[in-house]
A and B are shown apart, each in its own frame.
Chain A
Amino acid sequence: MPMTTRRVLRTVESRTGGSSALTKALRYVFPDHWTFLFGEIAMYSFLILVATGTYLAFFFEPSTAHVVYHGTYAPLCGTEMTKAYASALNLSFEVQAGLLIRQVHHWAADVFLAAITVHLLRIFFTGAFRKPRDVNYYVGLTMLVLAVVEGYVGYSLLDDLLSGMGLAIGNAVALSVPVVGGQLGVLLWGGRFPGTPDFLSRLFFVHVFVFPILIATLMAIHLALIARPHHTQFRGRGRTERNVVGTPMWPAYALRSLGLFAATAAVLFALGGLVQINPIWQWGPYEPYLGTNGAQPDWYLGWLIGALRLMPHFDVVIGDYTLIPNPFWGGVLFPGAIFGFLYLWPTIERRWTGDQRPYNLLDRPRDNPTRTAIGAAVFTFVATVFFAGAADRAFVQFGVPYEFQLWMYRALAILLPVVVFFLTRTICRRLRDGGGHPARDSGARLVERPLSGPVAGYDSQAKATDKEGRPWPT
């Protein structure tokens, strides 16, 4: 066995001279904290998306040509529909394991975005976006934006009643962009909604090629920008700004990571087989003159339907010219503001605290009460709007009147973030100054910090020491 390994290594060395690089890679140190695995969950979901998506692309026909269905699903027998929808039905009912792969693909998309979200929260609340990782943070945010759009485009391909209604709304949001909106909507759709006959194949190409290439490229850059400065780590014994302590890639970390990949795949395939998702045969095909009550977008767009429903009814009209139509507020301004905040945050934090130093050690959320409080407040704002989007289901399920819910959510969206800000900041300060986690003693201690400072959390850095307690470097 060692002979074969050595032979392979010799081949690689003689062709690429890469043995030392390989050794370096094998011994690359990963800090071990469990919250550092969130990004991996996202990445593995993406890989499963690509694999299942490739399979699906062999069967799906992105065609708007109309056909009459004569497959096995009785309630749609004799119904006119697009070839796209018909091919999706065919994939679900006639192709062996077709429905399994379709459902795994859709569950993977939902989980991909959920994993990115918790990953983003971890990055934000631990300050991992600080120099030298701010550029990588932008890369990650861009991947999030792309993933949201990619998911939307993906489930809209099927041309079912729910996603078709979603496309109509998307067109309205495009039209609502001031000044250029009309032309933008017509450009993207190739005309007025529902668009040119090749609109679905355009969407298909974007979904199957353009966005996956962009996301994959950004992901590669993202990994490179992590590997180069090495991963951040929490403070602790022997951990300084100048070193990284953890498990080497080979063998333990690689196996652990592969295990997480297998587990992610296991969860997704279990869901794909056992829990139904997007049963398009129950929705029926889309036509612009058809609608259903209770239509919702996939979860990661829930904040937008909430915003569109909550925003009061006003356009900005100058004379006869409609400068800002109503869908702009909820569909463009709201997500734009949130992503703008996220993109700008590293700069804002640097300016505000005046701290331009690079950091490799992470904050615990409590170590930076102001940042944590602001993040919690913004998150609360988004979450409130999110829940507002499901107010109609809450009405049907729990009987709370819909109109009342609207007013309640409007008030909460303004008041709750303020409350959360102050509450979070107080809790963080108390935890930080009290010296330990209330639930358990973590053992990881910070060097003494002054109990109050000009800007919370930005005071002394942990003094780096080696194992004998002498200051670093020796």
Chain B
Amino acid sequence: MRRRLAAAFAWLWRYAVAGVVLRISKKRTVRRERELPASTRAETLTAALFFAAALAGLAFIAIYAFDDADTQLLGLSIAVALALVAAALILAAAQVVPQEQLEEPRPDFTHRDDVDGPKTGDIDRFSAHQQEAVEGAALTLREGADGVTRRRLLGAAGAAAGVGLGAAALVPLASLGPAVGNRLSASPWQDGVRLVEENGMPVKADDLAVGSFLTAFAEGADKEELATSLVVVRVRSEELELPADRADWAPDGILAFSKICTHAQCAVSLFRYPLFAERSPGPALVCPCHYSTFNVLDGGERIFGPAVRPLPQLPLRIADGALVAAGPLSGAVGASWGRVREEG
């Protein structure tokens, strides 16, 4: 019994000493306004919230254990648990633990000695203490080179080594990708390449009605390759307004264009064909990303939107009822880059 009393007294003493020491030691710098809520109601509520959170957490586990746990129930249970924890913590922060307002000084380097000093002029006017510190650091650094005679030579040599090794370290990044070369202008299309649909079957001219469109690819080429995919549309032959050098590019009014927009490489997947041309906009291909619009009747010229280059057109001919390329595409496929117009 006595020992316990002694222990308790020692504990109390320790706290008293600590409290006094803390209160009087940094008199100027520690100012406290401290309020002890001592609210049993808040404490009970906090405890209740924590217990409720525990239950919600268990609910999550129970729901998870069921086959085919519903995402909504799972989310709700864990959200409720977390919300209860949040409420408990915030309540405790506001009404259970001591409420204090404390003031402490900022480190020296964040403010200037004379608070109302001039704004301009000697800008970073350090305090004397700070100046000493900076000088000390500078001196220590400089002292490291004491006795070194050919500093410039060594400096230059070190820099050279740094540059050399640094470059060596960066250079393997070049293996991430090949040189541009003619990769951006590669295309499988040339005279004689057959057009096929996604299932590999050749595209038959008769399959396409006037006002219809479909996606086609070069026979034997990788469908994912940008230049391979085409959009094939059909208009009435009388409607065509192709330039003279493309007069025979659209047999029976069937036109083929690269499906990749020349603005930012989305698939041009909108085709508008008017039922009543006299009161509607004309046939055109529209890209759904930024709405670049290309007129199909004149060979893919841009009529709206941010694209600059026309949609590359593929000359067609019909061989045994199937569509076949009669030459390469009229321009480079995909978005523009430095040499995009040189190949076209």
Q: Does B103 contact A (CB under 8 A)?
A: yes
Q: Does A13 contact B (CB under 8 A)?
A: no
Q: Does B54 contact A (CB under 8 A)?
A: no
Question: Which residue of B229, B290, B339 contacts A322 across the interface (Cβ within 8 Å)?
Answer: B339
Q: Does A344 contact B (CB under 8 A)?
A: no
Q: Mark A326-370, 1 if CB is under 8 A from B, else 0.
A: 110010000000000000000000000111111010000000000
Distance between A284 CB and nearest chain B CB, rounded to angstroms: 13
Which of chain A's residues have a CB closer than 8 A to the CB of B305? 313
Which of chain A's residues have a CB closer than 8 A to the CB of B266? 165, 168-169, 291, 295
Contact assessment for A263 and B83 in the assembled complex, using a CB-CB cutoff below 8 Å: yes
Q: Interface extent on A, as a size class?
A: 35 or more
Which of chain A's residues have a CB closer than 8 A to the CB of B223? 287, 289
| Interchain CA distance A146-B115 in the complex, whole Å | 38
Which of chain B's residues have a CB closer than 8 A to the CB of A289? 215, 217, 223-224, 228-229, 259-260, 267
Among residues 49 to 87 in chain B, which have CB atoms less than 8 Å away from a CB atom of chain A? 64, 69, 71-76, 78-83, 85-87
Q: Does A179 contact B (CB under 8 A)?
A: yes
Question: Which residue of A132, A248, A321, A467 contacts B100 across the interface (Cβ within 8 Å)?
Answer: A248
Contact assessment for B334 and A262 in the assembled complex, using a CB-CB cutoff below 8 Å: no
Q: Does B265 contact A (CB under 8 A)?
A: yes
Contact assessment for A255 and B97 in the assembled complex, using a CB-CB cutoff below 8 Å: yes
Report whether over half of chain A's contact residues are helix, strand or loop; otherwise say mixed. mixed
Which of chain A's residues have a CB closer than 8 A to the CB of B94? 252, 256
Which of chain B's residues have a CB closer than 8 A to the CB of A260? 86, 90
Chain A, residue nearest B31 (CB) = A467
Distance between B118 CB and nearest chain A CB, rounded to angstroms: 9
| Interchain CA distance A251-B268 in the complex, whole Å | 60
| Interchain CA distance A182-B217 in the complex, whole Å | 25
Among residues 95 to 139 in chain B, which have CB atoms less than 8 Å away from a CB atom of chain A? 97-107, 109-112, 115-117, 119-120, 123-124
| Interchain CA distance A288-B102 in the complex, whole Å | 61
Distance between A49 CB and nearest chain B CB, rounded to angstroms: 16
Which of chain A's residues have a CB closer than 8 A to the CB of B268? 291
Q: Does B144 contact A (CB under 8 A)?
A: no
Which of chain A's residues have a CB closer than 8 A to the CB of B336? 175-176, 315, 322, 325-327
Residue of A171, A271, A474 with most chain B CB atoms under a 10 A cut-off: A171
Which of chain A's residues have a CB closer than 8 A to the CB of B73? 273
Distance between B214 CB and nearest chain A CB, rounded to angstroms: 11
Q: Does B276 contact A (CB under 8 A)?
A: no
Which of chain B's residues have a CB closer than 8 A to the CB of A325? 308, 335-337, 340
| Interchain CA distance A311-B71 in the complex, whole Å | 42
Contact assessment for A262 and B177 in the assembled complex, using a CB-CB cutoff below 8 Å: no
| Interchain CA distance A175-B264 in the complex, whole Å | 9
Q: Does B322 contact A (CB under 8 A)?
A: no
Contact assessment for B74 and A308 in the assembled complex, using a CB-CB cutoff below 8 Å: no
Contact assessment for A172 and B263 in the assembled complex, using a CB-CB cutoff below 8 Å: yes
Q: Which of B147-155, B180-188, B243-251 contacts A (4 or more CB under 8 A)?
A: B180-188
Q: Does A317 contact B (CB under 8 A)?
A: yes
Among residues 5 to 24 in chain B, which have CB atoms less than 8 Å away from a CB atom of chain A? 11
Contact A192 B267, CB 8 Å, known A100-B74, A288-B260, A321-B338 = no
Q: Does B92 contact A (CB under 8 A)?
A: yes
Which of chain A's residues have a CB closer than 8 A to the CB of B103? 29, 238, 243-245
Q: Does A173 contact B (CB under 8 A)?
A: yes
Question: Which residue of B176, B180, B215, B269 contacts A190 across the interface (Cβ within 8 Å)?
Answer: B176
| Interchain CA distance A458-B64 in the complex, whole Å | 59
Contact assessment for A326 and B89 in the assembled complex, using a CB-CB cutoff below 8 Å: no
Contact A242 B111, CB 8 Å, known A2-B11, A192-B226, A288-B226 = yes
| Interchain CA distance A272-B73 in the complex, whole Å | 11
Contact A229 B109, CB 8 Å, known A246-B102, A295-B289 = yes
Contact assessment for A293 and B270 in the assembled complex, using a CB-CB cutoff below 8 Å: yes
Q: Does A27 contact B (CB under 8 A)?
A: yes
Among residues 90 to 123 in chain A, which have CB atoms less than 8 Å away from a CB atom of chain B? 96-97, 99-100, 103-104
| Interchain CA distance A96-B260 in the complex, whole Å | 39
Chain A, residue nearest B99 (CB) = A252
Chain B, residue nearest A327 (CB) = B264
Q: Does A253 contact B (CB under 8 A)?
A: yes
| Interchain CA distance A104-B79 in the complex, whole Å | 11
Contact assessment for B110 and A182 in the assembled complex, using a CB-CB cutoff below 8 Å: no
Which of chain B's residues have a CB closer than 8 A to the CB of A463? 115-116
Q: Does A300 contact B (CB under 8 A)?
A: no
Contact assessment for B264 and A186 in the assembled complex, using a CB-CB cutoff below 8 Å: no
Which of chain A's residues have a CB closer than 8 A to the CB of B304? 403
Known: A96-B64, A273-B73, A463-B116. 17 other contacts (CB 8 A): A97-B69, A169-B289, A171-B265, A182-B337, A182-B338, A186-B178, A186-B179, A242-B106, A243-B103, A248-B100, A248-B102, A262-B83, A267-B79, A273-B71, A273-B79, A330-B306, A474-B28
9 nearest interchain CB pairs?
A273-B75, A259-B89, A172-B335, A325-B336, A262-B86, A270-B79, A266-B82, A289-B229, A291-B269
What are 6 residue pairs bridging A and B, where the CB atoms are less than 8 Å apart in the complex?
A229-B109, A259-B87, A271-B75, A295-B288, A309-B306, A327-B263
Which B residues have a C-beta under 8 Å from some C-beta of A?
A: 11, 28, 31, 64, 69, 71-76, 78-83, 85-90, 92-94, 97-107, 109-112, 115-117, 119-120, 123-124, 173-174, 176-180, 183-184, 186, 215, 217, 223-226, 228-229, 259-260, 263-270, 287-292, 302, 304-309, 334-342
